[in-house]
Structure 1
Amino acid sequence: MTTEHSFILTLSCADRPGIVHAVSGFLFERGANILDSAQFGDRYTGEFFMRVHFQQIGGDPGEQKLRADFGTLAETFGMRWQLHDANVKPRVLIMVSKIGHCLNDLLFRHRTGQLPIEIAAIVSNHKDFYQLAASYNVPFHHFPLAAGAPESAKAAQEAKIIEIVDAEAIDLVVLARYMQILSPALCKRLEGRAINIHHSFLPSFKGAKPYYQAFDRGVKLIGATAHYVTGDLDEGPIIEQEVERVDHGMDPEQLTAIGRDVECVTLARAVKWHVEHRIVLNGHKTVVFR
């Protein structure tokens, strides 16, 4: 390991005096330089959250030694914690159906260095974007699932997805307008490492063509929500939300275009914050150290 190896530590625990002092002292004793640090105390739950990005500049003990030593400190405070190598780009699997704006946006942001990730594969239940995937040199896997397919077919299709997740050592799954509901078993397996995007500010407009439904109702505000996937459909912890004002002069196609732009931005932020280890779960909510 180099003398400039950097890590990101995230933690949460019951709030009490001395946590910041203990963590910073621990790092100082091991020759670490704190590059940035953020913390939050939730006065409603009594929980404390912290993210520390630090660099080893002298006497680097190595990641395994750091983990072992910090585990002792963490036990003292009852911490839930994670230590990440800041130089390792998380491996991402993107899942998509027949609407590709979010997929295209993520691929472009990755290509231009805006997202510190490795896109290991794309999975789709349709063939529409295999050429787009090829243009970015990303493996494309077509796992079809017919409308109204029996549960056995869905289980077989999800088994193939799990094979990709395991074989490619996937750290994060991104549902970039993947229009299939994941089974409770798959949601549980991907807990805390699967992000979905949907049109959250159109809660009354479910099903097909939500922006057309919104047009018929004359909405003045549209938006999107990125959230972690759970077994409760669209009820997972919210990571990011964005909105855009619209008016009576816009037709359904314009609303759809605006909505898709908002979805792209919202999802990209959520992915970026996740892979930069800026998100800590707070029950059914999230703390995001932007």
Structure 2
Amino acid sequence: MSTDPAPHDHATAEQHLVLALSCPDRPGIVHAVAGVVAESGGNITESQQFGDPDSGLFFMRVQVQTATPRPELHGAMERLAADFAMDWTLDEVGRPVRTLIMVSKEGHCLGDLLYRQRNGRLPIEVVGVVANHTDLAPIAEFYGVPFHHVPVTRDTKADAEARLLELVRENDVELVVLARYMQILSDDLCRALSGRIVNIHHSFLPSFKGARPYAQAHDRGVKLIGATAHYVTADLDEGPIIEQDVERVDHGDDVAELVAMGQDVERQVLARAVRWHAEHRVLVDGHRTVVFA
């Protein structure tokens, strides 16, 4: 009789986990983390770290293969985190992050995110699309994603945001993406979703904030246009920046051409930011970020 484990026996199955952490910098952090991994019988498959001399914080991202049950490793990390005053997460590598996308009328970013998700290029599970207009309902329908029309006026803004938070709770949403959602969120909502709401701004921040940035850029005769993906805070367009990119332009390009080129940049920048966030590669460092891309 064979003593080999049954094919579907997961008791000793290896897991691939990702640990991301930040804490006050001091000697021994890497040694301590590696010790916890070694004691679990784990193997480090990827490791990145950074000590910020300005903030005095240390940042680390580690991928680990281990047969130790995740709750046991979690418990060991809890004890270590208490000693080092760590903020940390432990997750499965590649687990799709439950995501809600918010839009208004422009669909280039929405379509791109849904396409990348369907093709396995983004580790997210889009559980719904929220829009203050109905223009993009057909895109959500095409990809089989629930569409929620939540109109917003000055008088209904509080109710609309309450509905959004209700959808976040009902769907266990971990990440909210503003994919050209053209409404300013309240301070209360920004705080409620702090660290898990990403916006794409159609400009190379901190330049040309607010409305019509491409028209502003054209008026100034810029030679580069760009896009910025950042975490949303109560300060408009000033949250920690995750990713940026640019496209060269010249005096012959009109506003419409700038918009078309800018939309291509927006798609790429937002997709990278969403992927890095979902892979736990982005750690907040005050008003900045550390990105282990």
Which TM-score bucket, shorter chain as reference?
Answer: over 0.9
Partner of residue 41 from structure 2, selected from 1, 22, 31: 31
The residue number in structure 2 matching 1:132 is: 139
Report Cα offsets for 1:96-128 as digits up to 9, x if no partner.
Answer: 001111111111111111101100000000000
1:202 CA displacement: 6.7
- Once residues 108 and 86 of structure 1 are traced to their aligned partners in structure 2, the CA distance between those partners, rounded to angstroms, is 21
Alpha-carbon distance, 1:65 to partner: 2.1
Query: Aligned AA for 1:109?
Result: R
Aligned pairs for 1:1-290 (under 5 A) are 1=10, 3-57=13-67, 60=68, 62-146=69-153, 149-150=154-155, 153-201=156-204, 205=208, 208-290=211-293
Identity %: 59
Cα separation, 1, equivalents of 2:30 and 2:237: 35
Contact 2:101 2:177 in 1 (8 A): yes
CA distance change for structure 1 residues 184 and 208 in 2, over 3 Å: closer, same or farther?
A: closer
User: 2:206, 2:238 within 8 Å by CA — same for their partners in 1?
Assistant: no
The SS at the match of 2:218 is helix
Distance 1:175 1:112 in 2: 21
Q: 71-80 vs 121-130, which deviates more?
A: 71-80
Cα distance in 2 for residues equivalent to 1:156 and 1:270: 29
**Aligned match of 2:4:** none
Whole-Å separation in 2 of the counterparts to 1:108 and 1:81: 31
**How far does residue 203 in structure 1 lie from its aligned partner after superposition?**
5.5
Shift of 1:15: 1.4
CA change 1:204–1:75 in 2 (3 A) is closer
**Rounded Cα–Cα distance in structure 1 between residues aligned with 2:287 and 2:259:** 30
Residues in 2 aligned to 1:201 and 1:110: alpha-carbon distance in whole angstroms: 26
Gaps of at least 5 residues in structure 2 are 1-9
In 2, Cα distance between equivalents of 1:281 and 1:205: 24
Counterpart amino acid of residue 147 in structure 2: F
Q: What is the alpha-carbon distance in structure 1 between the residues aligned to residue 290 and residue 90 of structure 2?
A: 17
Change (3 A) 1:257 1:67: same
CA distance in 2, matches of 1:276, 1:202: 24
Question: How many residues end up aligned between the 2 structures?
Answer: 283
Deviation track 1:111-160 (CA, whole Å, cap 9, x = no partner) reads: 111101100000000000111101000000001113xx22xx11111111
Q: Which amino acid aligns with 2:219?
A: D
TM-score (norm 1): 0.93
Q: Secondary structure at the match of 1:44?
A: coil
C-alpha separation in 1, matches of 2:141 and 2:64: 37
SS in 2 for 1:91: strand
